[in-house]
Amino acid sequence: MEREAVLVGIDVGTTKIVALIGEVSRDGALTIIGKGPVAASGLKKGVVVNIDQTVHSIATAVEHAERLSGWKIDRAFVGVGGQHIEGMNSKGQIAVSGANREITREDISRAIEVARAVTIPSNRDVLHVLPRGFVVDGQEGVKDPLGMSAIRLEVETHIVTASATAVQNLSKCVQQAGVRIDELVADPLASAEAVLSDTEKELGVAVADIGAGTTDIALYTEGSPFHTTVIPVGGNNVTNDVAIGMKVDLQTAEDLKVKFGTCDLLAVDTEELMTVTMIGDDAGRDVSRLEMCEIIEARMRETFEMIRGELEAAGHGLSPAGLVLTGGAAQLSGITELGRDVLQMPVRVAAPTNVGGLVDHLLTPAYATSIGLLQWGARSLAVTDSGRYESAPSMGGLGRIRDALRSIFP
């Protein structure tokens, strides 16, 4: 394999931090050569609440990945999560300059800059300005207008913003761990990169990454995102409910959920019992498995109702390709059946694919964001190499990526 570049992704999640090192070949194939998943501390619902603990967790993950790969990590694509992530759509139009009215890269950049110039509160940072499509003299559905003749060029963009303080604290933690940032990538978009097919994106699809503390949602149509958001519920909420309902500690609740839990109540024997050790009682007691599964089903039903609310708020109550579930908590038994029941649309669980190398334990829904960060970086590299949009500073840091890649080409 002829190597194009080495990229690094760091997924800073509520309960785990994952550093991955990947090689990108000339044909765009991605091979994992280093990985460092560690338990996270210092974060709550995807947001930094303790700088020192978070720095230590990131540094440990980076060290694991470096040791495995033999590479020194100095920069990375870093995932941004938390309920503060929001998406909006904006249009910009310009008159095409130049004597022969041919659309240049500069024209595309100017149109994107006009779209970007929407009023955004001072306490928010722009993470992405993603062109969704172009209109050339009234002709809609143009994906790449470079070189076309036109008088007016219009672009529709999807802008993703995040809390400025949350971004600053995360950036500070990554930098204090000795890593520079190539690009900050919104977690919902990174997860989508790992598990959605181009066909699904074109048809119209929703992806929900159900993590420990949050659920990241992105809706796609005509090949690009048009709605991005994060809701503040995840697998930890289910665990907490089980702990309270069954009167057990959190670790026992997590173990019970993983081993015996399901969202499909019809699959549970009403007579089945489990032996658990309750808080304040050393003797094991028999409790109903159905009772625990009813707790799990109720919380997950509520989560799906919140997802449905987001789909309806976005104006796309029915995505033709349905809902794709990923993330650690998407591995809960019976989750697709419950999702179909609540949402009345196709639902499937997806894990990352098309990745080689050290992928033991990585090709599961829990690592969608981590692998998606590397795939986002690889795609950004391909865009930069092709010369498309490369002068547009609003394309999510491609200029920075180009500079960064100069330092890591072998």
Same domain, 210 and 338: yes
HSE value, Cβ hemisphere, 13 Å, CA-based, for 283: 2
Strand partners, 44: 47
**CATH code: domain of residue 119:** 3.30.1490.110
Residue position matching structure tokens 């390709």 = 321
Indicate the helix (H) or strand (E) that contains 266: none
Residue 2 lies in a domain: no
Indicate the helix (H) or strand (E) that contains 158: strand 152-163
Confidence of residue 277 (pLDDT cuts 50, 70, 90): confident
Confidence of residue 134 (pLDDT cuts 50, 70, 90): very high
Residue 81 lies in a domain: no
Rounded Cα gap, residues 144 and 163, in angstroms: 31
Rounded Cα gap, residues 249 and 319, in angstroms: 39
Do the beta carbons of residue 212 and residue 239 sit within 8 Å?
Answer: no
Task: Name the average pLDDT for the chain.
Answer: 90
Residue 154 lies in a domain: yes
Mean pLDDT calculated for residue range 294-323: 90
Which has more confidence, 404 or 59?
A: 59
Residue 146 has pLDDT above 80, yes or no: yes
Mean pLDDT calculated for residue range 207-222: 96
Rounded Cα gap, residues 378 and 4, in angstroms: 10
Same domain, 215 and 335: yes
233, 258, 357, 392 from 76: Cα distances, Å: 27, 32, 19, 21
Task: Name every residue whose Cβ is closer than 8 Å to that of residue 226 and which is 6 or more positions away in sequence.
Answer: 87, 89, 132, 158, 219, 220, 314, 316
- pLDDT for res 284: 82
Q: Could you tell me where the beta strands, DSSP code E, fall in 165-265?
A: 180-186, 205-210, 215-221, 224-231
Do the beta carbons of residue 196 and residue 372 sit within 8 Å?
Answer: no
Do the beta carbons of residue 351 and residue 364 sit within 8 Å?
Answer: yes
Summarised one tens digit per residue, pLDDT across range 179-194 is 999 999 999 999 999 9
Closest CA to 254 of 212, 218, 284, 290: 212
Confidence of residue 380 (pLDDT cuts 50, 70, 90): confident
Do the beta carbons of residue 25 and residue 10 sit within 8 Å?
Answer: no
Same domain, 229 and 276: yes
Same domain, 242 and 339: yes
Same domain, 250 and 298: yes
Residue 381 lies in a domain: no
Minimum mean pLDDT range among 194-198, 228-232, 386-390:
386-390
Same domain, 233 and 289: yes
Please identify, among 299, 329, 349, the residue that sits at the C-terminal boundary of a domain: 349
Other CB atoms within 10 A of residue 298 CB:
14
- pLDDT for res 28: 83
**CATH code: domain of residue 265:** 3.30.420.40
Percent of the chain having pLDDT more than 70? 92
Percent of the chain having pLDDT more than 90? 82
HSE value, Cβ hemisphere, 13 Å, CA-based, for 61: 31
Summarised one tens digit per residue, pLDDT across range 65-94 is 999 999 999 999 999 999 999 999 999 999
Rounded Cα gap, residues 316 and 321, in angstroms: 12
Mean pLDDT calculated for residue range 349-378: 94
Rounded Cα gap, residues 398 and 101, in angstroms: 26
Same domain, 231 and 301: yes
- Record the tokens describing residue 354, joined without a space: 């098309």
Confidence of residue 318 (pLDDT cuts 50, 70, 90): low
Same domain, 154 and 230: no
- pLDDT for res 392: 30
Residue 376 lies in a domain: no
Mean pLDDT calculated for residue range 309-328: 87
Rounded Cα gap, residues 230 and 188, in angstroms: 8
Summarised one tens digit per residue, pLDDT across range 231-264 is 999 999 999 999 999 999 999 999 999 999 999 9
Residue 128 lies in a domain: yes
- pLDDT for res 55: 97
Same domain, 209 and 331: yes
Please identify, among 349, 381, 399, the residue that sits at the C-terminal boundary of a domain: 349
- pLDDT for res 409: 39
What region does 387 belong to: left with phi over 0, alpha with psi -120 to 50, or beta? left
Q: Determine the 3-state secondary structure of 73 from DSSP.
A: coil
- pLDDT for res 37: 95
Residue 114 lies in a domain: yes
Residue span of the structural domain in which 262 resides: 197-349
Please identify, among 329, 349, 369, the residue that sits at the C-terminal boundary of a domain: 349
Mean pLDDT calculated for residue range 167-183: 97
End-to-end CA gap in the chain: 13
Same domain, 127 and 229: no
Q: Cα angle vertex 80, ends 55, 355, to 5°?
A: 95
Instruction: Report CA 335 to chain centroid distance, whole Å.
Output: 20
Same domain, 242 and 319: yes
Residue 79 lies in a domain: no
- pLDDT for res 27: 84
Which pTM was predicted?
Answer: 0.91
Domains held by the chain: number = 2
